[in-house]
């Protein structure tokens, strides 16, 4: 790579800065000083929050300390590593815009005062996606909750629309969201786009990033005069799982799935690998329409207090959502693998109870940690059942297997949110390293940067887009590791 210029003529500043752009972007925000030629200077040493609040008059603002704490955090405490790193992080004030015009006003004000801006939805993430590392303004999108339009196969929504509320309306015309996290009842669509990746429905529609799962994104940039940009096609990848670092989403067009009457079913097995094989065959059965295939090794099901009458001690469990139209052939598959159905609700019956979804994906971790706080988790692509069995035999009770089947590259594969009995950071890293050495892929939930939680590589397209839409690095600073070297030629 070329040597970084000693004093970069930064394209995003009105005039030449005295510091290198890299030095400037890495400075804490309360210490940033921009020295400008011709003796002009702009110094941000102590943020005048009262002045900022005055400039945002007419927009809902929250400064109550208890609310600031609540709206600064997510479920980062699932990780003992992140708990130490993030527990004291707080924003300075929260704003709740109700329109795109108010978002533009907020962005303009933050750029003017050079203060960080962190966007959040419902805050149901698990690794600090919406936690402000440098304080500043938190933009809560939950008041932007309008469904702009809804038609068969497609809808246009604001980012704060809650997923379950959307589906209630969409099902009236026979459609629903393609996928959703286990926090479906409270999560927002925009939050899932910015911080999520997979969930209920991924057994059919794969990962959020897969082509076709997001139609159009409308966003506001972080410039002196914020711009509105619309992304379509493959360009939407620039905001998916970007933690809000690449623009402020104000509108989304999302493809939908045909809505089925989903039965909720529990099947138990005497042997874990039989349960896993059943999950794989069910996932591979193209004629059986399903939305959730979640397999839990004993003793995970013992943590599900609300289901204790349906989960036999020592048994391994499959928690499933299957189309009512396919129940008869599904029963044949259960018999083939010597399973026992212990819970079976029609779609109408299931709607009156807590959904099985809320015992799967990372809700499994939530229930387990409620009973045993020493537990943490990993996010793993095993790819094959052979690798699942290898890890099951190798780690024993130290790493208890929890599988979620999803489609990846056209195949149904076992992924894991396995429970780990935490002892030390060193041992946790050894467990991760062993998985990776054996060919599994770990999406590390114990780091808060986009790259380190994914494929450990800088996404150059996303990085270059951030340079364009957030040249000062004010959006959720510290979450895109690659941005620290963004003045070195790519």
For 299-339, how does the pLDDT look when each residue is reduced to its tens digit (9 = 90+)?
999 999 999 999 999 999 999 999 999 999 999 999 999 99
Give CA–CA dist 451/453, Å, rounded. Answer: 5
At 64-74, the pLDDT tens digits run 999 999 999 99
CATH fold of the domain at 262-442: Vanillyl-alcohol Oxidase; Chain A, domain 3 (3.40.462)
pLDDT digits (tens, 9 = 90+) for 341-390: 999 999 999 999 999 999 999 999 999 999 999 999 999 999 999 999 99
Please tell me the predicted confidence (pLDDT) of residue 48: 79
Backbone torsions φ then ψ of 194, nearest 5 degrees = -80, -25
Q: Which residues are within 8 A (CB) of 448 and not within 5 positions of it... i.e. 6 or more apart?
A: 76, 82, 85, 86, 127, 128, 129, 131, 133, 478, 479
Would the pLDDT of 446 be above 90?
yes
The mean pLDDT of 283-302, rounded to a whole number, is 98
Identify the band that residue 456 occupies on the pLDDT scale cut at 50, 70 and 90: confident
pLDDT at 41: 32
> What is the average pLDDT value for the chain, to the nearest integer?
91
Rg (Cα) of the chain, in Å, rounded? Answer: 24
Instruction: Please list the residues that pair with 68 across neighbouring strands.
Output: none
Domain ranges of the chain: 1-46, 61-259, 262-442
Annotate 96-161 with DSSP letters as a single string: E-SSHHHHHHHHHHHHHHT--EEEESS---SS-TT--TT--EEEE-TT---EEEEETTEEEE-TT-
Whether pLDDT at 11 is above 70: no
In angstroms, the CA 272 to CA 401 distance is 9
pLDDT score for 36 = 30
| The pLDDT value given to residue 27 | 53
Percent above pLDDT 90 for the chain: 87
The per-residue pLDDT for 39 is 31
pLDDT digits (tens, 9 = 90+) for 175-228: 999 999 999 999 999 999 999 999 999 999 999 999 999 999 999 999 999 999
pLDDT for the residue numbered 47: 53
Distance CA(152)–CA(144), nearest Å, equals 23
pLDDT tens for each residue of 118-137: 999 999 999 999 999 999 99
Alpha-helix residue ranges (DSSP H) falling in 225-292:
272-284
* CATH classification for the domain delimited by 61-259, as one of 3.30.465.10, 3.60.90.10, 3.40.50.720, 2.40.160.40: 3.30.465.10
* CA separation for the pair 247, 194 (Å, rounded): 10
Where in 235-361 does DSSP place strands (E)? 248-258, 262-269, 290-296, 316-323, 340-345
Helix/strand/coil (H, E, C) string of 352-393? CCCCHHHHCHHHHHHHHHHHCCCEEECCEECCCHHHHHHHHH
Asked if 288 and 322 touch (Cβ cutoff 8 Å), the reply is yes
**pTM score of the predicted model:** 0.90
Q: Show the beta-strand stretches assigned E in 357-486.
A: 375-377, 380-381, 399-400, 402-408, 411-416, 419-421, 441-442
């Amino acid at each position: 790579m070329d040597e970084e210029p000693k004093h970069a003529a930064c394209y995003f500043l009105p005039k030449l800065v005295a510091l290198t752009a890299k030095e400037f972007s890495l400075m804490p925000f309360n210490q940033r000083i921009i020295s400008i030629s011709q003796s002009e200077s702009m110094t941000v040493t102590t943020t005048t929050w009262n002045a900022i609040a005055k400039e945002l008059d007419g927009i809902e603002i929250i400064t109550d300390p208890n609310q600031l704490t609540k709206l600064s955090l997510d479920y980062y405490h699932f990780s003992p590593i992140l708990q130490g790193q993030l527990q004291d992080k707080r924003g300075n004030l929260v704003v709740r815009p109700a329109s795109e015009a108010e978002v533009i006003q907020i962005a303009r004000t933050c750029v003017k005062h050079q203060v960080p801006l962190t966007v959040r939805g419902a805050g149901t993430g698990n690794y600090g996606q919406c936690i402000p590392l440098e304080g500043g303004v938190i933009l809560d999108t939950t008041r932007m909750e309008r469904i702009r339009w809804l038609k068969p196969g497609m809808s246009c929504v604001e980012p704060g629309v809650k997923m379950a509320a959307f589906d209630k309306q969409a099902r009236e015309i026979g459609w629903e969201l393609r996928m959703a996290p286990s926090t479906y009842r409270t999560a927002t669509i925009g939050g899932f786009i910015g911080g999520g990746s997979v969930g209920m429905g991924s057994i059919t529609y794969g990962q959020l990033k897969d082509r076709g799962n997001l139609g159009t994104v409308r966003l506001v940039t972080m410039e002196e005069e914020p711009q509105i940009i619309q992304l379509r096609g493959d360009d939407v990848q620039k905001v998916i799982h970007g933690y809000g670092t690449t623009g402020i989403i104000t509108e989304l067009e999302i493809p939908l799935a045909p809505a089925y009457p989903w039965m909720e079913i529990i099947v138990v097995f005497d042997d874990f690998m039989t349960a896993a094989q059943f999950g794989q065959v069910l996932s591979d059965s193209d004629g059986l329409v399903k939305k959730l295939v979640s397999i839990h090794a004993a003793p995970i099901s013992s943590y599900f207090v609300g289901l204790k009458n349906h989960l036999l001690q020592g048994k391994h469990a499959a928690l499933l959502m299957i189309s009512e139209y396919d129940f008869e052939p599904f029963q044949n598959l259960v018999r083939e693998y010597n399973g026992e159905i212990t819970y079976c609700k029609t779609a109408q019956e299931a709607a009156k109870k807590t959904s099985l979804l809320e015992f799967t994906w990372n809700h499994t971790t939530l229930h387990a940690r409620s009973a045993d706080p020493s537990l943490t988790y990993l996010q793993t692509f095993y790819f094959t059942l052979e690798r699942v069995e290898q890890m099951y035999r190798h780690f024993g009770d130290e790493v208890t297997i929890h599988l979620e089947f999803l489609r990846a590259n056209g195949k149904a594969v076992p992924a894991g949110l396995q429970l780990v009995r935490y002892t030390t950071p060193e041992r946790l890293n050894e467990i991760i390293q062993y998985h990776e050495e054996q060919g599994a892929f770990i999406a590390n939930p114990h780091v808060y940067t986009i790259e380190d939680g994914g494929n450990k590589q800088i996404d150059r397209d996303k990085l270059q887009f951030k340079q364009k839409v957030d040249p000062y690095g004010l959006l959720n600073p510290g979450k895109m590791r690659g941005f620290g070297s963004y003045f070195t030629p790519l």
